[in-house]
């Protein structure tokens, strides 16, 4: 008799991780401080198409030949990574301190102390074969 009473409880407990897994990050967004949108693009053209549909544009520092672009938008800014690295020709070296508004699993654990200022209020640095940038400005997504 005890087994019949416990079985429904165990099934209910077992369903919790499945439910959370199916709901994705949305179940945790209130804990993270707002909505989050992320994407990976395999070309600058694909990123440009998505940006146009969102009513924005590709940052000037992103190279035309990028083969991987990772981006995360949140209410208080965005972070972006491109491979291969950009030459950052249109950016200025003002010794800006790297203080990204948030990070993601692909963001360097130990970024350099300073980065370049790029058009559109982006702060960008290069590490290895990738460039990483962030903005704390309002970015549509």
**Do 51 and 99 sit in the same domain of this protein?**
yes
**Do 22 and 43 sit in the same domain of this protein?**
no
Look at residue 141 and tell me if it is in a domain.
Answer: no
pTM, 2 dp = 0.74
Look at residue 140 and tell me if it is in a domain.
Answer: no
Residue 24 pLDDT greater than 60, yes or no: no
pLDDT in tens, 35-72: 789 999 999 999 999 999 988 899 999 999 999 999 99
Residue 21 pLDDT greater than 90, yes or no: no
Q: How far is CA 81 from CA 8, 52, 69, 138, in A?
A: 47, 19, 6, 18
Look at residue 103 and tell me if it is in a domain.
Answer: yes
Cβ neighbours of residue 104 under 8 Å, at least 6 residues apart? 38, 70, 72, 79
**Do 105 and 46 sit in the same domain of this protein?**
yes
**Do 14 and 69 sit in the same domain of this protein?**
no
pLDDT band at 138 (very low <50, low <70, confident <90, very high): low
């Amino acid at each position: 008799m005890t087994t019949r009473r416990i079985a429904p409880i165990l099934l209910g407990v077992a369903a919790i991780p499945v439910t959370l897994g199916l709901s994705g990050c949305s179940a945790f967004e209130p804990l993270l401080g707002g909505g989050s949108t992320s994407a990976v693009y395999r070309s600058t053209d694909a990123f440009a198409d998505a940006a146009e549909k969102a009513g924005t544009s590709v940052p000037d520092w992103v190279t035309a030949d990028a083969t991987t672009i990772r981006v995360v938008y949140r209410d208080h800014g965005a972070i972006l990574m491109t491979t291969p690295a950009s030459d950052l020709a249109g950016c200025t070296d003002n010794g800006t301190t790297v203080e990204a508004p948030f990070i993601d699993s692909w963001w360097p654990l130990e970024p350099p102390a300073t980065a370049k200022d790029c058009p559109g209020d982006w702060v960008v640095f290069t590490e290895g074969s990738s460039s990483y940038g962030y903005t704390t400005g309002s970015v549509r997504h």
